[in-house]
A and B are shown apart, each in its own frame.
Chain A
Amino acid sequence: MNLSDTFRRCKPLIVYICAGDPSPDQTVEIAERIIRAGADVLELGLPHSDPIADGPVIQSASQRAIASGMNTDLYFDIASRIEGVPKVFMGYYNMVYRRGLERFASDCRSSGICGMIVPDLPIEESHPLREAANRHGIDLINMIAPNTPDKRIREIVSLSSGFVYLVARAGVTGASDDLQESTKHLIDRVPPVIPRAVGFGISRPEHAAELIRAGADGVIIGSACVDLIGRNELDQLEDLIRRMKRAMTKVRVKSTVAIQRS
């Protein structure tokens, strides 16, 4: 299962969870429930002590996970036990660098992870990891922010495989009430030569639908789910994912119809 196939088949709902939160034992079960509820891609976070791109919800989850004994060895063990959808690693560069780039990419491969998101690794610093990821057939997924200039967007896209991660708003991860106009504008600014998935601040089915309508190829949801996991509201978590997925699929049907008519 790889990311390109998934994006060809559908406009995926990508769901982030923090591995080891609330405990390493529970992560596999939580992931299975998420997949059963309709997640198309699982973004499995490796918790870090200093997550500078994350807001309070994911920070707390990371702290809980580290306190419960989460580490990189357990991470790959957990990842290899989750099946059914493509899995993407999300984690900070020091955790990757410390294990060794080659070893990390190889561990991704052998635990069935097909892509890597490293939020503190901009393209200027990404060459060594990109080489290692390529050698093991792993997509290194780049991020594009609302303030990324057009020329740099083209550079990022040219270095990307799998999909590009569009950061919906300035700042850090965390649920918000509204989508900004600049988010929709950002989708237009990124050439559709590679799938464009949008994340940061997406927490409601209507956000997801709006993004798909605006041309997004996929939607990433994180903090809203992590928040429910933190409160041990797993039924609500499944329900949220079901509603998100339904909202996205409805739009898709509409736009397909529109294309057929035209």
Chain B
Amino acid sequence: MGEISCEVRFGRYGGRFVPETLVQPLVELAEAFERLRADPGFLGELSKLMRTFAGRPTPLYRAENLSRALGRTVYLKREDLLHGGAHKINNTLGQGLLARYMKKKRLIAETGAGQHGVATAIVGALLGFETEIYMGEVDIERQRMNVFRMELLGARVIPVRSGSRTLKDAINEALRDWAANYESTHYLLGTVAGPHPYPSMVREFQRVIGDETRSQILAEEKRLPDSIVACVGGGSNAMGIFTSFLEDDVRLIAVEAGGKGPSRGGRSAEHGASLGLGEPGVLHGAMTKVLQDPYGQILESYSIAAGLDYPGVGPELAHLAETGRVKTVMAKDETAIMGFKALSKLEGIIPALESAHAVGYAIEHPEMLGELSVINISGRGDKDLHTVMAHESV
């Protein structure tokens, strides 16, 4: 892991806006993370699991057909090949091991589409934790397969009936559980959002994506790429691949869910573009960019890709977008579907609908990529087949 310290704030974003009961657990977590990230035993164990269990390193694949179609060289970082089918396992292995070193007995996590829930359940089974996953009732209906998957892996899925009964409320419920049970329980948050130390801790567990990409592209091309494209929901795959290139002359493009368009009606937005269309505010313990109404009530977001359907975003991304270091763009549902199909046909790779936002954007805006680009394929698309089939039949 890198040398960047575990920051509390990123410009005006970040921080720890939580009830007093959660301050001490977060302090203990930050201390444990600071200690263990320099501990050779911990790091050795983690890197062994990453290699032998999760399937790292993942290939950086030169996508010849896509490159030809776009008239430039495009590589794909193949996080879709990891165990569990997405980059999520990088973080759940890291935090799961951390929780074991902290002598916790139980893992709790939130999940939207179920990918982070599955990745947590995998690690719970591997490391012998009691595992409970909070999932909105609406999402449980939409993602029955992942619910069954989590249960097979020995986790208990707890339906969340409060609020909008989706991811945002599942996070609220996990925070409430943790406030009552922190002595025995680790809250395994799935993205670079939430209170300190989660944004920097999850980034450090995910930056293996960018560290590998950097040495792989240097080995193949003898130079850094002109651009890196990643989708952003909470932002963990984007921060994972961007972090290793922040100091370089590489254009970092964050593709948010444009959904059906930039409008909102009532208590819901028609998109998930917190960076592009949100405003500063506090959600889930951090100051960040948030989709909210003029009074500060959080809006429900929307995307065809459940993993991008979140009304907040990691605070470090909010900061990097504000300073201009990360370029923020949007891809609508239609663009994602196009990217999903195009990558399947051109390269024989079915990307997750989340990653398909990055692919679709790259196909529609090849001029933004430069001569040499890397697209982060954060997950595989098997989980999305029913969504795309339903979309086709409409």
* Interface residues of A, Cβ cutoff 8 Å to B: 48-53, 55-56, 59-60, 63, 66, 71-73, 92-99, 119-122, 124-125, 142-149, 152, 167, 170-172
B283 within 8 A of A: yes
**Residue on B nearest A66 in the bound complex, by CB:** B297
Assuming A92-B296, A147-B25, A170-B180, what are 13 further A-B pairs, CB within 8 angstroms?
A: A50-B169, A50-B298, A53-B179, A96-B296, A120-B285, A122-B23, A167-B19, A170-B21, A170-B179, A170-B182, A171-B21, A171-B181, A172-B179
Q: How far is the CA of A59 from the CA of B168 in the complex (A)?
A: 14
Q: How far is the CA of A171 from the CA of B185 in the complex (A)?
A: 13
Contact A50 B163 (CB under 8 A): yes
Contacts of B162 in A (CB 8 A): 56, 59-60, 63
Contact B176 A50 (CB under 8 A): no
Taking chain B's interface residues, is the majority helix, strand, or loop, or is none over half, making it mixed?
Answer: mixed
Which among A55, A63, A94 is the interface contact of B298 at CB below 8 angstroms? A94
Contact B295 A71 (CB under 8 A): yes
Which among A95, A99, A172 is the interface contact of B176 at CB below 8 angstroms? A172
Q: How far is the CA of A137 from the CA of B180 in the complex (A)?
A: 34
**Residue on A nearest B19 in the bound complex, by CB:** A53
Q: How far is the CA of A167 from the CA of B24 in the complex (A)?
A: 14
Within 8 A of A (CB), among B177-201: 179-182
Contact A97 B23 (CB under 8 A): no
Contacts of A122 in B (CB 8 A): 16-20, 23
B244 within 8 A of A: no
Contacts of B180 in A (CB 8 A): 170-172
**Residue on B nearest A172 in the bound complex, by CB:** B176
Q: A122-B18, A125-B16 are in contact. Are A49 and B23 (CB under 8 A)?
A: no
Q: How far is the CA of A125 from the CA of B280 in the complex (A)?
A: 15
Question: Which 6 A-B residue pairings sit nearest by Cβ, starting from the closest?
Answer: A171-B180, A98-B296, A53-B19, A145-B21, A95-B296, A145-B20
Q: How far is the CA of A99 from the CA of B297 in the complex (A)?
A: 11
Q: A147-B21, A172-B176 are in contact. Are A97 and B296 (CB under 8 A)?
A: yes
B292 within 8 A of A: yes
**Residue on A nearest B180 in the bound complex, by CB:** A171
Contact B24 A94 (CB under 8 A): no
Which among B17, B20, B182, B281 is the interface contact of A144 at CB below 8 angstroms? B20
Contacts of B298 in A (CB 8 A): 49-50, 94
Interface-centre pick from A56, A99, A121, A170 (highest chain B CB count, 10 A): A170
Contacts of B294 in A (CB 8 A): 98
A-B contact pairs, 11 of them (CB 8 A): A50-B169, A52-B19, A56-B162, A94-B281, A94-B283, A119-B20, A122-B18, A122-B23, A143-B20, A171-B21, A171-B181
Contact B15 A167 (CB under 8 A): no
Q: How far is the CA of A124 from the CA of B287 in the complex (A)?
A: 13
Contact B163 A98 (CB under 8 A): no
| Per-position 1/0 for B130-173, Cβ under 8 A of A | 00000000000000000000000000000000110000110010
Q: How far is the CA of A130 from the CA of B130 in the complex (A)?
A: 42
Q: How far is the CA of A166 from the CA of B25 in the complex (A)?
A: 18
Interface-centre pick from A145, A148, A167 (highest chain B CB count, 10 A): A145
Interface-centre pick from B21, B163, B182, B282 (highest chain A CB count, 10 A): B21
Contact A98 B295 (CB under 8 A): yes
**Residue on A nearest B174 in the bound complex, by CB:** A52
Contact B21 A59 (CB under 8 A): no
